[in-house]
Amino acid sequence: MRLVSRQFNLATIFMSIAVCACAARAQTPGGGRPPSYAQFVQSRVQIIVADLQSQDDWKQADQSINDLFDQAALYTPETQPDALREADFAMRLITQLEQTPEDYRMDLLKLLCNSPNLAWNMVYMLQPGDKSAPAYAMLNKLREKRPDQIERYGNLAAAISVVHQKPLQQHVNENTAKAIDPIDIFDFYVRNENRMNFGIRTVAPELLVYVVDVTGSIDDLYWALNKYQGNQNVGQLFFDVQYDTESFERGTPKRLDQAGFSLPNILQYGGVCADQAYFAMEVGKAIGVPTAVAEGASGEADHAWVGFIAAKGPNAWWNFDSGRYEEFQGVRGNVMDPTTRKHIPDSFVSLTAEVVGTTPTQRDNAAALADAAFRLIDMEQNPPAAQDAPSAVLPGTVLPAARQPAAAAELMLFEAALNQSVGCIPAWAGVRDLAAATKLTPDQRNRWADLMVGFGAKKYPDFTFALVSPLVSTIADTQQQNTAWNNLFSIFSTRFDLDATVRMQQAAMWIAQGQLDNAYTCYMDVISRFANSGPFVIDALKGAEKLLTQANQPGRILPLYTQTWRSISLPQDSAPQFFSESNWYRVGRLYEHKLEEAGQSAAAALVQRQLETHTIMSG
């Protein structure tokens, strides 16, 4: 199975070179059929880049390419995005390189002009607004150290540049794993390409970043590759590591820590869930499988597990289920994005598998269409200089009338982007932001809410909820909004964390309307349904207590805590460090304080003894 990287045939290479080549000015051919608008944009890009190389005037190049992109954004048909893609690529390239140090900026421009595979991968791995200088500094090191390989392995070079633009390390409980020299990581994957499960050059960089963010030593990488090459179920490796029950239950030092933190030692001496997940993740990366560690919390403790790309025939998907314990199925996990180092829900990561069903050109089209939509949004607040219609600069060209910067045109571009690549997160986020800014009509909002739910409610629930909830919160009529929240509660019925969030959102809505009884009912629903399922009960308790105080009913607060604590199950087989994270313990501590405040010291002492006794027993 191929994970869809850039495989350029000869015609594509020459087309890309024509766009970005640093040659003489293009001439409009005389006679015959006039050039298309896309060809015109290509020739304009060529002129702008050639002028930049000869004059080294980045400010002028930036202005020229932005003017060209504005024209393309206003006039390019969304069904024929070639011109828009070419202008967008050049605009991103110049904007990104403009941030780099002058001492190697022109060297990078020359490199990228002559390396289309590298250039297109690099340009689209960085997002508008990103600080690009650190990533290009890493690319410059690769240019200096591996000049003959980075074009052939353009996807690998781009992935390493964005992941290792600053030192990378993983904290695994009391241990820290630090990435080796990125040049050595590049060499490892180049030398062992034919041993990787999915190869290297055939893997899209959006997935490859979850391979090259490896933090094991070079010895660990070769040990894992030699032992597990070709393994198809990375999730099972989680369970190959023996659980250090003695350390977990008694809090004693782990044998792994005494032996030294390495992949062979994890396998030999075992560890806790974080070590199991790290082991499976690192082995997966060593054999070329995109992997990630997810972390989440149930009602009893925090936990870690592993997700990996699984494949069957031409299809691929992220599997975050087979590499975790059964009692943590359904718990949302958070994963570190290797390019930003920020934590995101695991279903956001799962969305990257959508690249498998697309071509690089489709993904670039999607990014360009989304960029155009965002430019229209900006034009509403900051109108650009007047743009010539394409027919004025290219006689004979017939294109639609200029778009008007408004929600209708922006939505059309976002939808066109998603038709190219449904995994284009900026396009989905753009629609969400339009809704949050109350720029959508009720019909537009309802249509997009249906599209979002239909696309991702089952496959990407966290992602879908993050998209749809802002749309729901903008419904002006409170009863209609309440109905919409209840619909979401039903849609996400198998996800207690999302359902609890729905009820908390409803509570906030009712409070804003001054309907405190309804808000209290929402908080109590969370407490009654999810007291044993996750950490949500704490916030619900505090919310309910605040409402009782506002309603001048302090006498109901202590019974509320009494009832809640008694409804929570006592955790089983938890070590002290995990026991204290459980809902039973945390609510018990709050209950103890409430008893003290009520002057019931004896009862408070009894609760305290129960908490301390079970903490000792758990150890």
| DSSP assignments along 462-509, one per residue | HHHHHHHHHHHHT-SSHHHHHHHHHHHHHHTTT-HHHHHHHHHHHHHH
Closest residue by Cα to residue 331 from 489, 142, 216, 494? 494
For the chain, residues with pLDDT lower than 50 are: 7-31, 298-301, 618-619
Question: Whole-angstrom Cα distance, residue 71 to residue 385?
Answer: 10
65-82 as b/e, with b when 16 or more CB fall inside 10 Å? bbbbbbbbbbbbebeebb
Q: How many CB atoms within 10 Å of residue 209?
A: 24
Q: Sign of dihedral through CA atoms 523, 524, 529, 530?
A: positive
State the pLDDT at residue 299.
42
Question: Whole-angstrom Cα distance, residue 254 to residue 247?
Answer: 6
Tell me how many domains the chain contains: 1
Question: Whole-angstrom Cα distance, residue 166 to residue 141?
Answer: 13
Residues whose CB is less than 8 angstroms from the CB of residue 559 and which lie 6 or more positions away in sequence, other chains included: none
State the pLDDT at residue 165.
96
Indicate whether 518 belongs to any domain: no
State the pLDDT at residue 455.
94
Question: Whole-angstrom Cα distance, residue 254 to residue 382?
Answer: 60
> Are 241 and 279 spatial neighbours (Cβ–Cβ below 8 Å)?
yes
Question: Whole-angstrom Cα distance, residue 519 to residue 145?
Answer: 62
Parent domain of 307: 169-357
Q: How many CB atoms within 10 Å of residue 314?
A: 9
Closest residue by Cα to residue 122 from 169, 87, 170, 156? 156
State the pLDDT at residue 227.
97
> Are 257 and 282 spatial neighbours (Cβ–Cβ below 8 Å)?
no
Give the single-character DSSP code of 431. Answer: H
Closest residue by Cα to residue 114 from 93, 132, 98? 93
Question: Whole-angstrom Cα distance, residue 509 to residue 234?
Answer: 44
Indicate whether 509 belongs to any domain: no
State the pLDDT at residue 558.
95
Question: Whole-angstrom Cα distance, residue 166 to residue 61?
Answer: 29
Indicate whether 564 belongs to any domain: no
CATH of the domain at 350: 3.10.620
State the pLDDT at residue 444.
96
SS3 104: helix
Indicate whether 188 belongs to any domain: yes
State the pLDDT at residue 22.
37
Residues whose CB is less than 8 angstroms from the CB of residue 433 and which lie 6 or more positions away in sequence, other chains included: 470
Beta bridge partners of 178: 169
SS3 251: coil
Indicate whether 561 belongs to any domain: no
Question: Whole-angstrom Cα distance, residue 216 to residue 549?
Answer: 54
State the pLDDT at residue 390.
80
Indicate whether 309 belongs to any domain: yes
State the pLDDT at residue 143.
97
Q: Sign of dihedral through CA atoms 112, 115, 116, 121?
A: negative
Question: Whole-angstrom Cα distance, residue 109 to residue 61?
Answer: 13
Indicate whether 156 belongs to any domain: no
Indicate whether 233 belongs to any domain: yes
Report if pTM > 0.85: yes
